[in-house]
Amino acid sequence: MKVLLVNDTFPPDINGSAYFTHRLATSLMTRGHKVLAIAPSRTFHDEPSVRNGVSVFGVWSFPIIHYTNFRVPFPIFIKDALRKVIQEFAPDIVHLQGHSILGRTVMTIARELHVGVMGTNHFMPENLVHYLHLPTTFEDKIKKWAWSDCRRIFEKLDCVTTPTQTAADLMKKFGFSKPILALSNGIDLQRFHPGNDGEFLKKRYALTDKPTLLYVGRLDKEKNVDLILRALAKIAPETAPHFLIAGKGFEEKNLKKLAHELGLENRVTFAGFVPDEDLPFLYRISHAFIIAGTAELQSLVTMEAMATGLPIIGVNATALPELIHDGKNGYLFAPGDIEGLISCIQRLFKVSNPRQQMGAESLKLIQAHDINKIMATFESLYTSLSQPNKNS
């Protein structure tokens, strides 16, 4: 089957939507399907390329000033080139990963060519509006408009999925009337597992044998890594875990400054961007994982940590409680509740701790997200949606 994947973000962009699209592409290719991805180019020209093993048609684009790693195409001048590429590839199915410029343009062309179109929503306006630095009233209006725009496009599709039931309920809250299938992003359990050996990374980052609390992800405002630093500063050094931060982003400089101001230099390691090939081993040298972002529609990094057998500390917001079962495979704290976060860390890292038992529970819970099960479901959807086109 020929599958056309479309997203406004793709590696080397660093975000969950880009990573999911790439993993979906490689998984489909492994299962014998032919895949082409359409995404913004890294230049002001259209350019075919192979990114991380995936064939990509890059649509000429320009960077957004406040989000320099994120690029957008200009809608007026891309349709002819896209139509030519789509006709040449002749997809059986088009799978959109977003509703913005590329997604809606490809959807229009696919309809003209009588190709089935489905979409997966990874969109949360909360992950973008804070960069605008607007008053709360204006931010709320922009969020409402953004959800309305998403609904306008996605309700025209043949099938809509989103990673969690929480995400599906949120879409319905904002007026979606079309059925929405909650279908996990999935995790490769052959790649992320407790049997990985990460000793080489322990040496690379000069980590001691002290228990380590890990965060992996973008260092941006909505991830609330500063809250974790402030919580750790209030825990006695002899009982607190070492904090390993893996990732980069706009807040990196501010977080390093904050760690210095809080006297945490010897208790925090900033690992920077960790290559994808090293990630499975990074989780293995850690004793627990933490995530404080309040706008997670699922969280791939949390699933990677669970697949490695780690207990999880997370904020009780959006879809994280679907992965983190409080008191079973980790602990939840209320958004912004620094005292609650301190309590979670202390309970997990006390002398008589439940980490091993909770890690085992993470392993049980993550089995439902096995990438092979998820891919089989996507394949079934692709087949059902492409059949009418073959008969037309």
Would 81 be classed as within a structural domain? yes
pLDDT digits (tens, 9 = 90+) for 308-339: 999 999 999 999 999 999 999 999 999 999 99
Does one domain contain both 135 and 165? yes
Q: Give the tens place of pLDDT for each residue, 67-113.
A: 446 788 877 779 999 999 999 999 999 999 988 889 999 999 999 99
What's the number of domains the chain is made of?
2
Q: What percentage of the chain has pLDDT greater than the value 90?
A: 73
**Cα–Cα distance between 301 and 291 in angstroms, integer?**
9
The predicted pLDDT at position 315 comes to: 98
Q: How wide is the angle at C-alpha 206 spanned by C-alphas 356 and 249, nearest 5°? A: 85
134/208 same-domain check: no
DSSP bridge pairs for 331: 313
DSSP per-residue codes, 58-91: EEP-EEETTEEEEEE--GGGSHHHHHHHHHHH--
Do residues 211 and 333 share a domain? yes
Q: Are residues 150 and 219 in the same domain?
A: no
Residue 28 and residue 100 in one domain: yes
191 occurs within a structural domain: no
Taking the whole predicted model, whether its pTM rises above 0.85 is answered as yes
- Could you tell me if residue 192 is inside a domain? no
Q: What is the CATH number of the domain that holds 327?
A: 3.40.50.2000
Whether residues 358 and 243 share a domain: the answer is: yes
Is residue 82 one of the residues assigned to a domain?
yes
> pLDDT per residue over 3-45, tens digit each?
999 998 888 887 888 889 999 999 999 999 999 999 998 888 8
Alpha-carbon distance of 387 to 1, in angstroms, equals 11
State pLDDT tens for residues 204-230.
999 988 999 999 999 998 899 999 999
Q: Are residues 97 and 237 in the same domain?
A: no
The two structure tokens encoding residue 52: 């991380």
Q: Domain of residue 331: give its range.
A: 199-369
145 and 215 share one domain: no
